[in-house]
Structure 1
Amino acid sequence: MSTLQQKPTLVTGAAGLVGRALAEKLVAQGRPVIAMDRQAQARAQGIEIQACDLGDIHRLHALARDGIDAVVHCGAYSGPMVARDSPYSMVQVNIVGTANMLELARVHGARRFVYCSSTSVYGTVSGDGPIEEGLLLRPGSLYGASKVASEYLVTAYAQQYGVSGVSVRLSWVYGPRRTTDCVIRTMIEDALAGRPTRMDFGLNFPRQFIHVDDAVRGLIAALDAGQLPQHAYNVTGDSWHTLGEIGRFVSDAHPGADIKLQLGNDPVDELQAKFSIDAARLDLGYSPTVSLREGIASYSKWLAGQCGATP
């Protein structure tokens, strides 16, 4: 993608973990960006986040009135553990919000629409894997169902209206500035504070993480791809570790860490076999660059800097 493009990329959820990192990366590449979120923010990196709710249709179109090159839609409730007691709000934000952004992309002639989806669309999937994108989707949560519905909207807008859209199915994202629940952050923060970490599940429960930098890399790859042979792509860190193993990785970075987990599945997450990222490698040129061990070590240093501790 040429850095000389004149029209900006509209990034939703720009105050969140992935949206913020994405907006910063695009600006660093010399690309114009319109960053929006529910709350306005002024940022030291030179990015001004415009206040706009996904349901405010008039405000959305006002932001895009001078034209946009593309939309990367990261704005949503960001996990099955969020808004569990607010199903109506989940539908309005995650599904209707996506429909509003797709209509904006259609009306303003966006070149590409990239939807930030989730591996939660698969629900529980047993076996050894690898799980490919063509597997029947059986979400086990309203969050996962909202992602499935939004993916179908992206595909329908592509087929019926010619909006070049693609869904990027991210696995669990971790890294600097994550604010929602994250077991890696909890383990690291406990270690830094000299607290024990105790969990009554997870010792044998696998979870597939992706560092925020790799998540951004995958979204940009989808944004810039010339052709899109598939409507959706798995984008993960290409690892498959139990929470017990992840605890040992944290202990490697913090030798004094006291982390003990019990057997059992995570009560708010699905048991899933390993995901294949072969299609993303082939079609998008995506490949993760941050191993889980490296990501945990660098995340530890960042968290230590935030609290003034010694990693």
Structure 2
Amino acid sequence: MLILVTGATGKVGQHFIARLLDDSRFSKARIRALCHNRTCPETERVEVARGSIADRETVAEALTGVTHVVHLATCKETPADVMDVTVKGLFWLLEHFRTSATARQFILIGGDAGIGHFYYRHEAPITETTPHQAYPGCYALSKVLEELMLAQFGIQYGLNGCCLRAPWIMEKDDFKFTLSFGNDVFGGPDWKTLVPRADAERYAKDSTVPLLRDADGRPLKRNFVHVEDLVSAILSAIDNARTKGQLFNVCMDRPVDYGEVAAYLARTRGLGSIDIASQFHSNWMDNSKAKYLLNWSPVYDLEMLIDSAWEYERSEEDPRIVWYPG
């Protein structure tokens, strides 16, 4: 088994490679990490290929002898690159994979941007049959195109592929910094821009957290997944015959409720909160299909997500680096 991992140096890629190499089920598996701007250490079981997935020759060479692809590489809101890297890059991967004599399975990691995240109202839980509806911007559009392209390669050529659709992925102290009123905020909203500057500075100093409210005035519900749970789902999907042609929502059992977050932090850490109004919409991703077909369940619930983020202590060798803002 030779697994090509794109985006190998990212949050998910690093965790996936480490977990797979430590898993006795995959003791004979080898990794080929396709790296572009960054790189990872080579070992007896990990080799590095260099280049961009937007380049056809790079992709063809990287796929030589590969049995599985775990495709993690993507672009965020970078219009100059997104079509070349995210869309054309996936096309070259699929085009060469479908004609490869060694190819067995293609796993794409998608995102809830493809179904609009919290930008649109959903009257029922979001399942895998919920229609695509990208929110404004090129990133969300690219996530729709990824899912559709993979599905079409399955229809046209019988390619054995599946997509694991993840919401916002957390690790280490990420979740703590999603709630910061300071310049160190991770992702959005950018809370300090939603209140007067003096208030933002005070909230940052006191570690006050935002209680985001949805368009109906209720505490907003937003979907998350911890990287450890996502990696577990990927490992469960490898060579699983029930995954062919399937799309899975891979997320926490319940969305994060900002009201519950504020209450828990007040009770356990004495932190205050401040209401933040918005026109966003609460939603609830349903992960039942992944539980049923992958025999997978997330470990992280709300309390574990919060406690792990607040209790994480960084060493000097582990600086907080955010390659993408969300």
Q: What TM-score, normalized to structure 2?
A: 0.76
Q: 1:273 aligns with which of 268, 272, 283?
A: 283
1:227 deviates by: 2.4
Structure 1 unmatched runs, 5+: 1-6
1:72–1:113 contact (8 Å) kept in structure 2: yes
Task: Provide the C-alpha distance between the structure 2 equivalents of 1:233 and 1:158, rounded to a whole number of angstroms.
Answer: 15
Alignment of 1:81-96 (within 5 A): 82-83=76-77, 86-96=78-88
- Which residue is equivalent to 1:292? 302
Contact conserved, 2:179 with 2:210, CA < 8 A, in 1? no
2:69/2:107 contact within 8 Å kept: yes
Tell me: CA distance 1:101–1:261, structure 2 relative to 1, closer, same or farther (3 Å): farther
RMSD (Å) for aligned C-alpha atoms? 2.9
Deviating more after overlay: 168-177 vs 150-159: 168-177
CA drift at 1:199: 4.9
The match for 1:32 is 30
Whether the 8 Å contact between 1:37 and 1:75 is mirrored in structure 2 is no
Aligned residues: 283
Aligned amino acid, residue 299 of structure 1: A
SS in 2 for 1:275: coil
Inter-partner Cα distance in structure 1 for 2:84 and 2:208: 36
**CA apart distance, 1:198:** 5.9
Of residues 165, 168, 174, the one that matches 2:170 is 174
* C-alpha distance in structure 2 between counterparts of 1:251 and 1:104, whole Å: 53
1:176 is displaced (CA, Å) by: 2.7
Shift of 1:300: 2.6
- In structure 2, C-alpha distance between the alignment counterparts of 1:60 and 1:164, rounded to whole Å: 18
> What SS does structure 2 have at the residue aligned with 1:227?
helix
Please list the CA deviations of residues 145-191 of structure 1 after superposition, one character each: whole Å capped at 9, or x if unmatched: 211111111111112222101111111111138xxxx554343788x
Distance 1:263 1:101, change over 3 A: same
Tell me the distance in 2 between the aligned counterparts of 1:217 and 1:96: 28
CA distance, structure 2, for counterparts of residue 154 and residue 232 of structure 1: 10
What is residue 152 of structure 2 aligned with on the other side? 156
* Maintained 8 Å contact 2:209/2:271: no
Q: What is the CA–CA distance in structure 2 between the aligned matches of 1:306 and 1:259, rounded to whole Å?
A: 29
Pick aligned residue for 2:252 from 230, 237, 243: 237
Larger Rg, first or second structure (1 or 2): 2
Among the aligned pairs, what percent are the same residue? Answer: 23
Deviation of the 1:196 alpha carbon: 3.1
- SS of the residue 2:34 aligns to: strand
Q: 2: CA distance between counterparts of 1:129 and 1:36?
A: 39
* Partner secondary structure for residue 69 of structure 2: strand
Q: Which runs of 5+ in 2 are unaligned?
A: 186-203, 318-326
> Matched residues in 2 for 1:112 and 1:150: separation?
16
Give distance in 1, aligned partners of 2:124 and 2:223. Answer: 13
CA gap of 1:110–1:44, structure 2 versus 1, over 3 A, is closer
Write out per-residue CA displacement over residues 113-157 of structure 1, whole angstroms, 9 at most, x where no aligned residue.
Answer: 111111221124534532221122122233222111111111111
Q: TM-score, normalised by structure 1?
A: 0.80
C-alpha spacing 1:207/1:91, structure 2 compared with 1 (3 Å): same
